[in-house]
Amino acid sequence: MNLRKPLAGLILMLAAAGLVAAQLPQSVYFKDSAPPAGACTPGSEGIVHLNSATSQWYVCESGSWVAKTIDAAVIGSGTVPTARLGSGTADATTYLRGDQAWATPPGGGGAPVGATYITQTAHVDLTAEQAMSASGTGLVLNTTGTGVLSIFAGTSCTNQFPRSLSASGAATCASVADADLASNYSGIGACGANTWASTLNDAAAPTCTQPGFSNLSGTATDTQLASNYSGVGACTNQFPRTLNDNAAPTCADVAAADFATQTANTVLAGPASGGAVDPTFRALVVADWSPLTTQGDLAYRDATTTTRLPRGTDGQCLTSNASTIVWGSCAGGGGGDNITVNGAAAADADFDDATPAAPEGTNVFWQKDALTPNNLSAYVKAATNLIAGVITTAAQSFAGAKTFLDDLVADDNVDLTADITPAQITADQNDYAGCTWGSNTICRLDADQRRAITGMTAGSDGRIAILSNLDNGADSGIVIKGENASSTAANRFNIAADIMLPPEGSASFFYDATLSRWRLLSREFFHPATVRATPLILIEALHTDVDTYAPLLGVAVSSGTNPAANAGLVTGDHPGVTRIRSSTTANSGWRIQSDAGAFRLGGGEYVEIIFNPAVFTATTGRFGFCDTTSSADCVDGAYLEYSTSGVTSGKTANNSTRSTTATNVTLSAATWYRGAISVNAAASTVTFAVWDSATGNLLWVDSLSTNIPTASGRETALGLIATNSTTTATDLLHFDMLTYFSSRALAR
């Protein structure tokens, strides 16, 4: 018959009917080479199955085979057979290795002899090199090649200490070094000359001090006082300041620093009286001033010594000669017209004569004019050049440059009579030298046609120069150029705008040596030629109408209006204010503007506008040079702009190609501002600025050097425009005034 493996937990039994499967009783043990498969049959609980391949036990619990382990804690008695611990033969000569094998130790049985094992006490199976108990010196030696420690027998070092031990146990002896004196001393720093390291510091520079006698033992010797000082050389009438090694000492006189500080009015002297003692500092006494003995005596030095000159008698004068001074009668008997100068009395005639010659060699010579008794002339040597001239009760005259050491007060007119008329100017002048200012104040200029002066020479601090343009019947306006680089810096005119000197016009300047520039003192402004060359436009918002902003026009944009200012906007600081207001039409507002092509930027243009924004939402404002007549951006121009917010920038536009400043300023509604647009003389840069109108504080400035419309066909307009994109009538801004002028003299 074909027998198959019965189900787990069943056995085959021979019965009358043949082989039948029967249920195993409890605690039956099976061994198989594989874990049990499938579920165990009911009633098989307690049957144990051993997987011989893995030594894993399985027990049938609740119809399933459950893997089981044996906890070592349940082993309560007996021992584990050595065969279960590892392979090989376990006996007294073997030990269990980590790979679960019983092995014989190297060198045979017992404790290892050649290996690096040590114990704290001697052992019968350990050699002396492997035991530590006999360590008498406290030093151990690593046996070469084995790693076994042996006791070091010791090596003696005399007045040194063992720096190192060799492999054989021999010591290397050495003296104590600096590093041995301070733990972790890094050797940082050093001591300077004449000092020593009194303390070595850990990881820091040593503490340096100057040694004193207390640092020396015994009696100080010459070599201790100066190292290796050889005693070379000596000092004569001085004392050795420094003792040098193998060289002569450094000798020096006694200096003030060698003495302690003293009270005022004391001297180093011997005693005031008595016997000789060392000098001290003391006050002078009368006896110190020998040979003076009497009140009124004078001391002077004759050819060799300080000598006493007894006081003179009443009325005597002190005179001198080439060798001494004496008391004698005064020249002129103490009165009269004579004056003694340089030790010699001037003759009476020299003082009274009308036209005497100034004596040679005298410093001052006074002369009284016999013909005009009120006149007194003072002559000074040319080298002194302080005051020379005639001092009278009438007109005064002074020759040459004079220096007055105090205020010059004039009770009458001060006339500037000296002038010069240089040659006619026939070309533009740089560093002009035609006006010789040495003795002149007025320079009378003449030009064949319009000419420019970019700078003027001979500036000295405080000098006043008056330039006057003569009228020769031609259109000969002379332009004084401000800060023009064609002249040397120190010869330039410090003026913000060019000045036109029309025929018969004038301007005065003074020289500022601190600034190194000629500065404007006064000028003739409202001369027709001046206004023609440097025009000025001033717009005040005194009316609210479509055409009363002459020379500009007020024009509605899409039905916008410009009604009167809101209450409170017209103040003492803002006379004449108009309001710009949008209508119910989108993009409406108002503009105050010239014709769109009235201005072509050529350099020197300047515009200022005073305005007060009412609202920023959906609102655009543009101020300066801008040719737009609607809410669209400018085609050509240089202008300030804000759009839908208070952020305000500077812009340039050249045929609709635009540039915007890198920075900006944020304005606030209901605040007065002053905005400016300035084109430089070369029309190469436009500068934009905004001030707080109330305080005058500069809030922002920036500039652009691109897309400046200067070419033909790129003309623009002057003025302002404000629009709003909504369909609600809204106040946009309040306008106070606009100012325009050209700092470049126009050729027309």
CATH number corresponding to 536-742: 2.60.120.200
Average pLDDT of the chain to the nearest whole number: 75
Quick one: tokens of 161? 């200490």
Quick one: tokens of 315? 């009325």
Contact 113, 124 (CB under 8 A): no
Taking each continuous run of H as one helix and of E as one strand, the counts in the chain are: 5, 52
721: exposed, middle or buried (C-beta count within 10 Å: 0-12, 13-18, 19+)?
buried
Contact 117, 130 (CB under 8 A): yes
Spatial strand order of the sheet with 397-398 comes to 364-368, 376-380, 389-391, 397-398
Query: Above 80 in pLDDT, residue 339?
Result: no
Q: Calculate mean pLDDT across residues 428-446.
A: 89
**Phi-psi map region of 341: left, alpha, beta (phi>0 left; psi -120 to 50 alpha):** beta
Q: Calculate mean pLDDT across residues 691-718.
A: 94
The span from the CA of 211 to the CA of 214, in Å, is: 8
Quick one: tokens of 538? 């001033």
Per-residue confidence (pLDDT) for residue 175, from 0 to 100: 80
Kindly state the helix (H) or strand (E) to which residue 225 belongs, with its residue range. Answer: helix 222-225
Q: How many CA atoms lie within 13 A of 21 on its CB side?
A: 10
Question: Is the pTM higher than 0.75?
Answer: no
The span from the CA of 374 to the CA of 271, in Å, is: 63
Quick one: tokens of 541? 């918002």
Per-residue confidence (pLDDT) for residue 405, from 0 to 100: 57
List, for residues 49-83, the tens digit of each pLDDT value: 666 666 677 777 777 777 776 666 666 677 777 77
The residue extents of the domains of the chain are 10-74, 281-329, 332-398, 419-533, 536-742
The span from the CA of 339 to the CA of 325, in Å, is: 19
Quick one: tokens of 454? 């970019």
The span from the CA of 234 to the CA of 247, in Å, is: 10
List, for residues 475-516, the tens digit of each pLDDT value: 567 889 989 999 999 999 999 878 888 777 889 999 999 999
List, for residues 309-322, the tens digit of each pLDDT value: 888 888 788 877 66
Quick one: tokens of 351? 């003082």
Cα angle, residue 709 at apex, residues 703 and 714 outer, rounded to 5° = 160
Quick one: tokens of 595? 């014709």
What is the residue-wise DSSP string for 445-502?
E-BSSSEEE-BBS---TT-EEEEEE---SS---EEE-BS-TTS-GGGBEE-SS-EEE-
Contact 691, 674 (CB under 8 A): yes
Nearest to 480 by CA among 447, 463, 448, 455: 455
Per-residue confidence (pLDDT) for residue 387, from 0 to 100: 42
Torsion over CA: 70, 72, 74, 75 (sign): positive
List, for residues 97-134, the tens digit of each pLDDT value: 888 888 887 654 444 444 444 544 555 555 544 444 44
Residue with tokens 């290892």, as numbered in its chain: 112
Amino acid at 506: S
